[in-house]
């Protein structure tokens, strides 16, 4: 049976608490189909302009962008994939969902790329076109309270690949990623918020907004990207 990385890595009792409309987003995408969404981010980036030169480096690999904009239209496209990890003969292709989020900034469109994989230790998000930066994620779904039914993904550690090796950042300097996906029944939209923060410095980058999403037959020109 075909399952998504979330279904492979998250206990069934946790996923059972998800809002019914979110189960489509985090469930398996059938063969020959693609997940597509469209909406608006109320904010994207950071107002700390001293960080922009650093973000410009990450922008080259489609991770983050040196911007601070409001009311940014965007689209998201999710596709099932397999991502190779390891080196040489030890490389293994793991089930993944590859996402392309295209932001229509005032200066032009930019696309953020990442791939979520199911690995023995749990969910891992490989950021950028080459996936050189990875964040291991812990999934949580509250059964009660204001975020009941929402999925919260929090990074437990961040690593990067250099010279063929995986290097894990020490906790004292490692940034933390927090992603929350919830469904707003009243507005009939899915809401998303992401924050990248670091010890002492606080929030380094964020985006938040709302969109509508559906899994549809994959017959468009973007197939196979």
Residue 172: is its pLDDT beyond 90?
no
Nearest CA among 196, 198, 216, 218 for reference residue 206: 196
Residues 6+ apart with CB under 8 A from 105: 44, 65, 67, 69, 72
What is the dihedral angle through the alpha carbons of 24, 30, 32, 34, rounded to the nearest 10 degrees? 20
Taking residues 161-186, report their average pLDDT.
Answer: 87
How, if at all, do strands 165-168 and 151-162 pair? antiparallel
Q: Contact at 8 Å (CB) between 137 and 194?
A: no
SS (H, E, C) the chain: CCCCHHHHHCCHHHHCCCCHHHHHHHCCCCCCEEEEEEEEEEEEECCCHHHHHHHHHHHCCCCCCCCEEEEEEEEEEEEEEEEEECCHHHCEEEEEEEEEEEEEECCEEEEEEEEEEEECCEEEEEECCCCCEEEEEEEEEECCCCCECCEEEEEEEEEEEECCEEEECCCCCCCEEEEEEEEECCCCEEEEEEEEEECCCEEEEEEEEEEEEEEEECCCCCCCC
Residue 1: is its pLDDT beyond 60?
no
98-142, pLDDT tens digit by residue?
999 999 999 999 999 999 998 888 899 999 998 889 999 999 998
pLDDT for residue 220: 61
pLDDT for residue 92: 61
Q: Contact at 8 Å (CB) between 27 and 4?
A: yes
Residue 171, Cβ density class (10 Å: 0-12 exposed, 13-18 middle, ≥19 buried): exposed
pLDDT for residue 87: 47
Average pLDDT, the chain: 90
Domains annotated for the chain, with CATH where assigned, are 5-83+92-217 (2.40.128.20)
Q: What's this model's pTM, rounded to 2 decimal places?
A: 0.89
Residue 161: is its pLDDT beyond 50?
yes
Residue 199: is its pLDDT beyond 50?
yes
32-75, pLDDT tens digit by residue?
999 999 999 999 999 999 999 999 999 999 999 999 999 999 99
Nearest CA among 119, 28, 127 for reference residue 78: 28
Percent of the chain with pLDDT over 70: 92
The Cα 96–Cα 128 span in angstroms is 14
Residues 6+ apart with CB under 8 A from 114: 63, 98, 99, 125, 126, 127, 128, 131
Other Cβ atoms closer than 10 A to 145? 8
């Amino acid at each position: 049976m075909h399952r998504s990385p979330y279904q492979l890595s998250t206990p069934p009792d946790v996923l059972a608490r998800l809002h019914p409309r979110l189960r489509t987003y985090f469930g398996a995408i059938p063969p020959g189909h693609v997940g597509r969404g469209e909406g608006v981010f109320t904010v994207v980036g950071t107002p700390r302009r001293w960080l922009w030169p650093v973000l410009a480096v990450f922008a080259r690999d489609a991770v983050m962008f040196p911007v601070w904009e409001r009311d940014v239209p965007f689209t998201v496209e999710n596709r099932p994939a397999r991502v190779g990890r390891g080196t040489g003969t030890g490389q293994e292709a793991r089930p993944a969902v590859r996402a392309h989020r295209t932001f229509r900034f005032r200066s032009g469109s930019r696309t953020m790329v990442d791939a979520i994989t199911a690995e023995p230790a749990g969910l891992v998000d490989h950021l950028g076109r080459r996936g050189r930066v990875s964040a291991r994620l812990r999934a949580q779904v509250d059964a009660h309270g204001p975020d009941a039914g929402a999925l919260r993904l929090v990074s437990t550690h961040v690593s990067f690949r250099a010279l063929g090796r995986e290097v894990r950042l020490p906790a004292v300097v490692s940034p933390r990623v927090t992603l929350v996906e919830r469904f707003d029944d009243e507005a009939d939209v899915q809401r998303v918020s992401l924050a990248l923060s670091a010890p002492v410095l606080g929030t380094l980058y964020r985006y938040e907004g709302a969109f509508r999403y559906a899994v549809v037959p994959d017959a468009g020109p973007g197939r196979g990207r």
